[in-house]
Structure 1
Amino acid sequence: MSSTTIVYIILAGILALLVALFQYKPKGKFIHKNIFILALLRFISVFALLVLLINPKFEKRSYFNEKPNLVIAVDNSESIAYLDQDENVKSLLESITNNPEIQERFNVEQFSFGNSVQQLDTLSFKDSQSDLNLVFERFKEVYESSITPIVFITDGNQTYGNDYEFSASKFKQPIFPVILGDTITYADLKLQKLNVNKYAYLKNQFPVEAIVVYNGTESVSTTFKVNIGNSIVFSKNLNFSKTNSSQVISFNLPANRVGVKTFRAVVEPLSTEKNTINNAKSFAVEVIDQQTNVALVSDITHPDLGALKSAIERNEQRKVRIIKPTEYLSKIYDYQLVILYQPNNKFRSVIQEIQAKKLNSFLVAGAKTNWALLNALQANYNYKITNQVEDFQANLNRNYSSFIVEDIGFDNFPPLKGNFGEVTFNLPIETILYKTVNGIETTEPLLATYETNGIREAILLGEHLWKWRAQSYLSKNDFNEFDDFIGKLVQYLGSDFRRNRLNIDYESFYNGNDNVIISAQYFNKNYEFDGDKNLTITLKNIDNNSTIQFPFILKSNSYEVDISGIKAGDYQFTVSVNGENISRSSSIKILDYNVEQQFLNADVTKLQRLATNSNGKAFFNTESQELIDVLLQDNRFAIIQKSTKNIVPLIDFKYLLALIALSLAIEWFMRKYKGLI
């Protein structure tokens, strides 16, 4: 409170006293005691009112205790149940969370992790993957600025994501791993890794690479073999010892028939092996009878060329060659699709040959494109020539119907550079991406496709696609979404296509631990995307004829269903639209492989190193009381008393208002009783 306010309060007291004395001077026979009481009441009322007018401000300080957080993260993956640790986990969790001293000392929060990280509700131990890295990435965002020790209950075996030890090093909180699983080392043979291409070409051989690892001290012999059905297509004897603990087997297998071929690689187990599930793994190869060769024709050097080549060749069925216009003319029959990158005068003969031979093509235009040449050589579109360039961002057309286009964040991609001006099309087109200029969405096409007399073409009116691919990597840590988008466009241009109102996007086969996701798009009779329908998928297991049905969920501009939980096997499926006589059928194969059952022991060394590097301590699942004692005795996790200081104006004190009302009321009743009013 300032000195000026104190002076005002003193003056208010003097003024209130003068008013009270002036009002109640002794008169005649009136009792002095009553005068004194009335004067006091009047003084209180006037003084309180004057003080309210001055409204002095006071400091109000409150104290509270702040507990540290205690986060308990529990591994909910299948490997915990496979190692017979599920009951141990529940018992350990109960002993920690029900301890009254822990509850008094910490704010306890519980999470489970496996495929994802979420608040702990119930433990099922059915997650098919263990992404331990995700735990520390999520916790770093939430608990970075608070005192938060982590009790990390896991076997330490990671099957998915980046190395969790690296992400934990950035998480500046003590970590207390609780190690689950057997720590005794048993002799074990393991098919560590199997590298094989997803596609092979008919009448060729495809390479396979297998890595077999031995964990033991004695010298052992075994046999590695690959079966297809009941036939052995490859076999090799292997010898291991303590010093020779791994071998790489490289071999080729023939691709004799078109279709999906399933193989099973097996390492014959030792008689003393405890875990034989990790001795075998199924794999599949889709044999195709044709490879799509794509000519990327350009007379300039540009980063877009490398981005397009990498995106297209992500699908092993496709090969891209970057060539000059003159070279393409001499090898025109070697390619099923041609991409014309920013044509100039040297493309005259190329464009004429493409039109004469009725070839599919993809035109990528940019600031160096010769539009005068393009206007003169074809009649499908006409560009109003200007000498200016402009930047265009993309906006997805959700009603595009030729194939499924996922929204991969086009509106957040860097702008493409193209010529300023309008392109007029002289035939019906389907727009994939519209132009957005200076934040304003337009109806002008940025990327479009069209078809005339069985010839399919696409046109992109901007360069710098490489920036899109780079942005896709920055957003998702991989190029997959952008590469899939370009791959679908190339597949549309390079294949026989018949327009359908119901389109399905799926893979021929999936590994057992993959996310099995099938997408679909449904269009009305005007080929506009219809998001108001109910789509269902019916799967029939070919082996036992059992059927199961799942509904699709609307996601952005497509429908999607996740059937990751189905058992391994061959399935026929039908996607149907409720209320419409429209359906599509096909088949998929789910390979039998459970990555969570490949481990025999906990990763003790890594978890102990994790504890040491974070200034924590590792415990085994039988040491729950020791863990509780360490948490309670660690001075870093003491309860902290904090205070808050608030500046409160006097008018907020309700008791003062009550005092004024009470004093005025008592004064009035006394005056009324004494006959003074």
Structure 2
Amino acid sequence: MIQFGENISWLLPLLIFSAGSSVALYFFKPDGYSNKVRIGLAALRFVILFLIGLFLLDPLVKYVSSEEEKPLFLIGIDQSESILANKDSSQIKELINSLKENVKTIDNVELNVIGFGNEVVESSTFSEKGTNISAYLKYVDDNFSFRNIAGHVLLSDGIYNLGVDPDYVDLKTKTPIDIIALGDTSKRPDQKIIETRYNKIVYLGNKFPIHVSIQSNFLKGKSSVLRINSSSGESFTKEYSYNSQSEILKFKVEFEAKKVGIQLITVQLDEIDGESNTVNNRVVIPVEVLDVKEQVALIYHTLSPDIGAIQKVIAKNENLDVDLINISELSIDLMNSLKDKYNGLILYQLPSTTNKINANLLTAIYSSELPTMHLVGKQVNINQFISLNPGIAIKGNRSGMVNYTTGGLNSNFSLFNLPKESASIISEYPPVQAPFGEYVFKGKSSTVLFQKIGNVQSEISLWTFVEFNGKNSIYVMCEGFWKWPLAEYRINGNTDLFTNLIKSSIGYLSVKKDKSRLRVYAATNYVNSEEIVLKAELYNDLYEPINDPNIELKLIKNDSLNYEYSFDRSEIGYTLNMGALNAGIYRYEAKTNINGVEITKSGQFSVSEVNVELANLEANHNVLFKLSEKSGGQFYLPSEFQKLTSKLKSQTFSSILYNQVNFRDLIDFKWFFALIIFLLGIEWLVRKREGFL
């Protein structure tokens, strides 16, 4: 069907023009044609002119196309290491091949086999170090929810250690999932380390605890030995016995941080005769030992409960120290020496309206290079505060006036993580007093709390982090927040949110700016199953990013084994993928050359040996049964495989025929031009045959 749209009004004039031109050419000119030939040529010319005019009217050709979609049969196969831990690989492969062959015998069905481990994979080697069933189900939903699915069979042992419980996945694909449950659900004699709790960062000279929990099954009356060894040379040994068939034992050990750097601590259980699995008897944990505590100076002119609330949080953190300094005891010389001792400053209600302070001393305080946290309340001389502080301006301020406001969480705040349910907890915090006015920050700012008047959250800051002229600052534009941890404890029985807010704020002050021209970014610890990717940045003398020079990296393990790599250039920096590495402590040294000047950067990281797949070999068929029941499928054991094949053979599946209406321009049909040329050729041949050319 041809559609002309707005050009249909030209169709009748085209017909008249084509007919008139053809008649005028062959009936009003004495050419000697016979009437039969004249009529044929006129009709031929009419068709040619009409087709050419039709092309100029640019009509659309409407047509219907059909596409057949054959039914698709999905087979999902768990490719994790635990699959082969209880069964011979040939048995598993035989079962999978038999399933594939049975599906292939079904008429009019296409087979799609999908493997999964940490994520969906193409390999079929059963070497995946983790199992993420929920990621597989999401992949099926994303790619096949609108397809013609004939059937879906999932083969797994139900042991998942990544993602969420499959029972919580909202299945968009409504095809029933038939399960073939692999693995062994029986409990066998075994002991395993189920938990290790420790501080990832400790400070030199401090003692740090290591908590170890051990679980046993069917080992009553048996004994073993717990051994904990640090790469720095410390060790602990403890013999223990099991007094019941199922038991959890807990141990606490204290080590001393004696050596700066990354220390690997190995927790090992001696093997017991008859134990079914010894992989879960060993855990290696990394601890980073630092040699400097973070120290902050809090300068005040009068004590306040707000200061006490901050002190209480810092006192619980052995990695932080705060010194209280009354401004009356502070001199300019002493102020200038603070930068050598402290990582940051906290200024409480300075400059004050009630306590006159030496102007030169205030200038020295505010011109300090140390990151600063400003606690601003009604006692602050706002006009003087603004004149001393170039990073902030206040519009509409009325000196001495305050707003009574609660805090409203900024949902887009991402500078650091806050505990769950933070918004609801903050909504229960009592009001605080905030200086009247609208605050404008210069530089890069990130606000965690806005002022909330009644139920309306404003855009006015209450607690904001700012980076301006290379200096980190925090502006807490309120007083009376000492009531917040009391309210939080009354509601939740803890003060996690307030503690996190203060600790993260102090941490923001303590962040050291890296001014080196070569910077290498690496995590402190990796696991042996993941690819290790390092990133690097290089800067010229003006600290502009460049990536022309080559960066070489030497990796050293145990002071003997060396590896050499070259970074790859990225858009504005460098990346290096070293693949997976064996467990151990690695030192690296990156090196480059800019205009004849050699620049180096060194560091270290650790690689821990982790195998969550082989740590637990007890199949979880309950998860698989729930999944089959939820989707409307059937649950089969390998011994019931024939029931599944009988079901498959008894089913018939039909293709789906999709009809689609399409529109194409006439110009897209090449045969149309060929037809016009063909008709012109016939007209030319007839006229030549009649001798009139």
TM normalised by structure 2 equals 0.65
* AA matched with 1:228: N
How do 1:242-281 residues align onto structure 2 when only pairs under 5 Å count? Answer: 245-255=246-256, 257-259=258-260, 260-281=262-283
Q: 1:163 aligns with which of 162, 165, 189?
A: 165
1:537 aligns with 2:553: yes
Q: 1:345 aligns with which of 352, 372, 375?
A: 352
Deviates more, 1:531-540 or 1:257-266: 257-266
8 Å Cα contact 2:344-2:510 kept in structure 1:
no
Unmatched tracts of structure 1, length 5 or more: 390-407, 411-416, 423-430, 436-444, 451-456, 465-481
Shift of 1:598: 0.7
Shift of 1:600: 1.9
Q: 1:609 aligns with which of 616, 623, 626?
A: 626
Q: 1:596 aligns with which of 613, 624, 627?
A: 613
Secondary structure in structure 2 of the residue aligned to 1:211: strand
**Aligned in 2, Cα 1:3/1:488: closer, same or farther, shift over 3 Å?**
closer
**Aligned in 2, Cα 1:64/1:3: closer, same or farther, shift over 3 Å?**
closer
Q: 1:550 aligns with which of 545, 555, 565?
A: 565
Write out per-residue CA displacement over residues 443-475 of structure 1, whole angstroms, 9 at most, x where no aligned residue.
Answer: xx961466xxxxxx63368989xxxxxxxxxxx
Shift of 1:608: 2.6
Q: What does residue 447 of structure 1 align with? A: 467
Q: What does residue 383 of structure 2 align with? A: 372
How do 1:510-529 residues align onto structure 2 when only pairs under 5 Å count? Answer: 510=526, 512=528, 516=532, 518-529=534-545
Measure, in 1, the Cα distance between the counterparts of 2:583 and 2:169. Answer: 33
Q: What does residue 639 of structure 1 align with? A: 655
8 Å Cα contact 1:75-1:113 kept in structure 2:
yes
Q: What does residue 426 of structure 1 align with? A: none
* AA matched with 1:582: I
Write out per-residue CA displacement over residues 486-533 of structure 1, whole angstroms, 9 at most, x where no aligned residue.
Answer: 78754445xxx9954334444555555576555544333344433333
Shift of 1:2: 10
8 Å Cα contact 1:96-1:102 kept in structure 2:
no
Write out per-residue CA displacement over residues 391-443 of structure 1, whole angstroms, 9 at most, x where no aligned residue.
Answer: xxxxxxxxxxxxxxxxx999xxxxxx984587xxxxxxxx88899xxxxxxxx
Measure, in 1, the Cα distance between the counterparts of 2:45 and 2:641. Answer: 66
Shift of 1:89: 6.0
1:571 aligns with 2:586: yes
8 Å Cα contact 2:211-2:250 kept in structure 1:
yes
Q: 2:285 aligns with which of 273, 283, 286?
A: 283
1:363 aligns with 2:372: yes
Q: Percent identity, aligned pairs only?
A: 21
Measure, in 2, the Cα distance between the counterparts of 1:306 and 1:163. Answer: 40
**Aligned in 2, Cα 1:659/1:518: closer, same or farther, shift over 3 Å?**
closer
8 Å Cα contact 1:366-1:463 kept in structure 2:
yes
8 Å Cα contact 1:131-1:158 kept in structure 2:
yes
Q: What does residue 131 of structure 2 align with? A: 130
Measure, in 2, the Cα distance between the counterparts of 1:317 and 1:258. Answer: 18
Measure, in 1, the Cα distance between the counterparts of 2:376 and 2:127. Answer: 54
8 Å Cα contact 2:178-2:636 kept in structure 1:
yes
Shift of 1:172: 4.9
Measure, in 1, the Cα distance between the counterparts of 2:309 and 2:138. Answer: 33
Q: What does residue 459 of structure 1 align with? A: 473
Write out per-residue CA displacement over residues 111-149 of structure 1, whole angstroms, 9 at most, x where no aligned residue.
Answer: 54434445x2x4454444434333334444443433456
**Aligned in 2, Cα 1:501/1:47: closer, same or farther, shift over 3 Å?**
closer
Measure, in 1, the Cα distance between the counterparts of 2:356 and 2:578. Answer: 51
Measure, in 1, the Cα distance between the counterparts of 2:608 and 2:395. Answer: 57
* AA matched with 2:282: A
Measure, in 1, the Cα distance between the counterparts of 2:519 and 2:21. Answer: 94
8 Å Cα contact 2:103-2:111 kept in structure 1:
no
Measure, in 2, the Cα distance between the counterparts of 1:341 and 1:514. Answer: 47
8 Å Cα contact 1:295-1:328 kept in structure 2:
no
Shift of 1:249: 0.8
Q: What does residue 66 of structure 2 align with? A: 63
Q: 2:200 aligns with which of 181, 198, 209?
A: 198
Secondary structure in structure 1 of the residue aligned to 2:147: coil
* AA matched with 1:458: N
How do 1:201-350 residues align onto structure 2 when only pairs under 5 Å count? Answer: 205-216=207-218, 219-223=220-224, 225-228=226-229, 233-235=236-238, 237-239=240-242, 241=244, 245-255=246-256, 257-259=258-260, 260-287=262-289, 291-294=293-296, 318-319=319-320, 337-340=344-347, 345=352
* AA matched with 1:338: L
Shift of 1:605: 2.2
8 Å Cα contact 1:225-1:267 kept in structure 2:
yes
Shift of 1:639: 1.6
8 Å Cα contact 2:80-2:117 kept in structure 1:
yes
Measure, in 2, the Cα distance between the counterparts of 1:62 and 1:277. Answer: 59
8 Å Cα contact 2:203-2:319 kept in structure 1:
no
Secondary structure in structure 2 of the residue aligned to 1:372: helix
